[in-house]
Amino acid sequence: MANYFVGDIQGCFEELQILLQKVSFNPSTDILWAVGDLVARGPGSLETLRLFESLQNSGKVVLGNHDLHLMAIHGKIKRANPNDHLQALLEAPDCHKLITWLRQQPLVRHLPEHNLIMSHAGVPPQWNLDTLLSESLTISEQLKQADYLTNVIGQMYQNKPNAWSNNLNGIERTIYGINALTRMRFLHPDTSLEFECKLPPQQLKDNILKPWFDFESSLQKPYQIVFGHWAALMGQTSAPHLHALDTGCCWGEHLTLWHLETNEKITQNNLFNVKLNNK
């Protein structure tokens, strides 16, 4: 049995298929874990969702910001960006089924046997394991409810509150949790979320902001943390226990697959970029 973790697919389905062929992925014995953002910029969002839905227990995902945004588009709360190439998915006869499946997926996966945590953007340094699991579970349960569009999705497009407090209640607590788990990159010195800057840390001109993973963590022991979301990192972090798997496939770079048991990373270049280079 092998555990494979893949970075932000964002509809780059053909690249994912090639990666799975490279490692001879076998759904009867192996598990494919995805760090979120299954859909968006690439042309294969429909095929990607169909694949993971069909894998059942052999495919495990966490929700990313683009996956939540898809729920808003499907629910007529937001309009689709043409650059996201979601039309085939939205018009598919099984679209509602796939959205229903997506709503059942968590924001955090905890693998205690491997001392590992997976979320889309990372783990807020203020949260210990109990807080991480309880806050993410609360949001997941809210997304499963019939009123999820009005009570969660329709209200999540806010940047405040951007700082954690145990005194947060109701929708404010939900908004902070969604933003921290699906949008977090840099933090201010007080650990409040910074939403505008998407640069790699080495290009930052001031010393005020720091990546979330450079703050002291409240986790009781060191965990391997698997995340995506921050393509500008291109897999580079400050410690070996941090696995940044978004390597910008949808932006012309490559898709990354991490084999847990061997600590090997396998990549596949963006196919559209390859075709351009071959002209």
Domain residue ranges of the chain, discontinuous segments joined by + = 3-278
Mean pLDDT on 214-222: 92
pLDDT above 90 for 24: yes
Tokens 């839905």 — which residue? Answer: 53
pLDDT above 50 for 279: no
Mean pLDDT on 111-116: 97
Where do the DSSP E strands lie in 24-89?
A: 31-34, 59-61
Predicted confidence at residue 274, as pLDDT, reads 56
Q: For residue 243, give the nearest of 226, 265, 221, 230 by alpha carbon.
A: 226
Predicted confidence at residue 66, as pLDDT, reads 98
pLDDT above 80 for 272: no
pLDDT above 60 for 277: no
Predicted confidence at residue 276, as pLDDT, reads 43
Give the class (CATH, top level) of 3-278.
alpha beta
Percentage of residues of the chain with pLDDT beyond 70: 97
Predicted confidence at residue 238, as pLDDT, reads 83
Predicted confidence at residue 82, as pLDDT, reads 87
- pTM here is 0.96
Residue 278 pLDDT grade (very low, low, confident, very high; cuts 50, 70, 90): very low
pLDDT above 60 for 5: yes
Mean pLDDT on 15-24: 98
Predicted confidence at residue 273, as pLDDT, reads 66
Where do the DSSP E strands lie in 42-115?
A: 59-61, 108-111
Mean pLDDT on 42-49: 97
| 111: β partners | 116
DSSP conformational letter for 4: E
pLDDT above 50 for 123: yes
Q: For residue 258, give the nearest of 58, 1, 7 by alpha carbon.
A: 7
Residue 115 pLDDT grade (very low, low, confident, very high; cuts 50, 70, 90): very high
> Rounded mean pLDDT of the chain?
95
Other C-beta atoms closer than 10 Å to the C-beta of 64 total: 30
Percentage of residues of the chain with pLDDT beyond 90: 92
In this structure, what are the phi and psi dihedrals at residue 111, rounded to the nearest 5 degrees? Answer: -110, 85
Tokens 């290009």 — which residue? Answer: 203
